[in-house]
Structure 1
Amino acid sequence: MSAIRVALVDDQALFRAGVRMLVESQPDLDVAGEAGDGASGVALAARSQPDVMLMDVRMPVLDGISATERILADADREGRTPPRILVLTTFDLDENAARAIRAGASGFVLKDADPEFLLASIRTVHQGNQVIAASATRELFAHVGRGSGRRPAPAAWAGLTPREREIFALAARGLSNAEIAASEFLSEATVKTHVSRILAKLGLRDRVQLVVFGYEHDLGS
């Protein structure tokens, strides 16, 4: 099996060096390159076509959110598989983390996360799954929109059945399919079907966007 090719985009050279050493210590991971700003990150993505990119949010020249949007748009336009983008954030960047996910990132991890969690997150997003820093989910997204008011639910929300709204609320709190199934006395397959329908009706890409949507519209509790 080919190693997962990981690229790092962060404006702190010392941080990049530490992550590079961590990634290079793993037999199933390779470093595909690094960049110190968002614009260089866009160029790196086109040149190296990594499997996963670790993307800082606040950087000079071009921020991580705009870089994420450009990288995914370029890949779509050129008909190539886009990299999975994992946003690197801190508690101070709550709104930016949510914006990055809306831009197409596969999730986020805190910059001070345990090395093992960062490595597991790289492997998880590479497999097509999403990652939200579990310890930060509620505290992080509870701040989304704070100070500017929550946005009203879109018209599509009215298209959800009462049961789907119940499942939505549990998923928006970060519960897994298994946890929802146990709580609602349903099979995991049934929960998975409900979640798929909810995502389709609301035009959401994945459960990470579902969490963001729930907190933005005050629907997750």
Structure 2
Amino acid sequence: MEASVTKGEFAALIGVSPGRVSQYLTEGKISQAALVGSGRNAKIRVEQAKADLRLTLDVSQRLGNGIDTLIDAGSQPVIVDGNAGGTVVPPPLQQSGIDYEIKQQKLEAARRANRNAAINEARERGQLMDTDAGRAEMTRVASALMDVFDGGLTDMATAIAAEFQLPQRDVKHILRKEFRKLRETAAKQMKTRAVSVPEYSEVVIEAEEADPAELA
């Protein structure tokens, strides 16, 4: 006798949702001849239902739903579990075939698109930046500050010379010499501190996970 299963078990056998099986029944893609009983408790004759689907579903639907190889004749033997009172147990789904590969490629493409969108959003928020560009910008800022301080030495020397009745040139020479020492000391301190600073700072970016069901 041909094995019969519940709608949920048949859905598992061919790799679709129970709702999709109900849709096939409503649309007549699975014929009444494939049903045992009626109503909510009706069961489905496995091979008859598969034969119906092979005739009523076109190739694009079968590939899109990932059931092309699962409704082939004899592709999924039905196991009867004697320990469970004769309950029909669908075997594990085999994730293989060109349809599975296509779905995996679509899923990976969707995940990549989500990751790129999350990265772009983080960059717009200021969470991410190009390290080389950031390093160059900080160098320009530091150099600009040094130029401002260096340019101010003349004004400071003039003010000190006028206040204490000293030659402006001598005061400026002393200030430049001391400022040079200060720059050298600061450079050494920054170099030492830079050793303990990691080149990159870890940022957690949450990307929306692609739903495989939406790619069917």
- Higher share of residues assigned helix: 2
TM-score, normalisation: structure 1: 0.24
TM-score, normalisation: structure 2: 0.25
User: 1 or 2 for the larger relative contact order (CA 8 Å, sep ≥6)?
Assistant: 2
- Higher share of residues assigned strand: 1
Flag the structure with larger Rg.
2
